[in-house]
């Protein structure tokens, strides 16, 4: 796989007091963005960093996401809300999101919350990337332009 860029954002537990060991990294594979989450996504600070990073990626033009849940042992209610907000944001702008490699605990919770009807959850990265359809025109260019200018929209991340 050719990886065009990679960035790592560590959530510093010592300075914030939240979510020790959590980190978020992203990498680009051609025109796809893979976001790797690790550590618990249970505290508000970790969720806010996730929100902020996805927002930055959207402003940079990313709109097809595969979210790696392989190293995410636990996800709190705010983490599930963050996923729902990202889904809504991407849906409004014509983007796509796929989840992959969720632990049994996270997968069960996703299904219990009926997120399995909203998100496609794949066993591995390759399957998730294959499922992301080829580029298509965005449904709502106005929403994306507003996002790039820094204006939020209702339900924004």
Is the confidence at residue 45, as pLDDT, over 80? no
Task: Give me the sign of the Cα torsion angle 33, 38, 41, 43.
Answer: negative
Q: What is the pTM of this model?
A: 0.74
> How confident is the model at residue 42, as a pLDDT?
77
Per-residue confidence band for 30, with pLDDT thresholds at 50, 70 and 90? confident
Distance of CA 91 to the CA centre of its chain: 13
* Burial per residue of 38-59, b for 16 or more beta-carbon CB atoms within 10 angstroms, e otherwise: bbbbbbebbbbbbbebbbebbe
Report pLDDT digits (tens) over 55-65: 899 999 999 99
- Alpha carbons 69 and 155: distance in angstroms, whole number: 23
> Per CATH, which fold does 5-144 belong to?
Transcription Regulator spoIIAA (3.30.750)
Q: Could you tell me the residue ranges of all domains in the chain?
A: 5-144
């Amino acid at each position: 796989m050719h990886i065009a860029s990679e960035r790592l954002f560590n959530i510093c537990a010592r300075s914030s007091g939240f979510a020790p060991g959590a980190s978020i990294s992203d990498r680009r594979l051609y025109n796809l963005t893979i976001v790797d989450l690790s550590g618990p996504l249970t505290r508000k600070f970790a969720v806010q960093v996730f929100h902020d990073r996805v927002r930055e990626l959207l402003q940079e033009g990313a709109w097809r996401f595969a979210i790696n849940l392989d190293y995410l042992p636990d996800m709190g209610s705010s983490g599930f809300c963050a996923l729902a907000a990202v889904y809504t944001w991407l849906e409004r702008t014509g983007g796509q999101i796929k989840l992959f490699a969720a632990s049994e605990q996270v997968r069960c919770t996703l299904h219990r919350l009926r997120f399995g009807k909203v998100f496609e959850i794949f066993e591995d990265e390759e399957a998730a990337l294959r499922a992301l359809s080829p580029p298509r025109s965005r449904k709502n260019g106005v929403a994306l332009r507003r996002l790039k200018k820094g204006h939020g929209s209702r339900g924004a991340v």
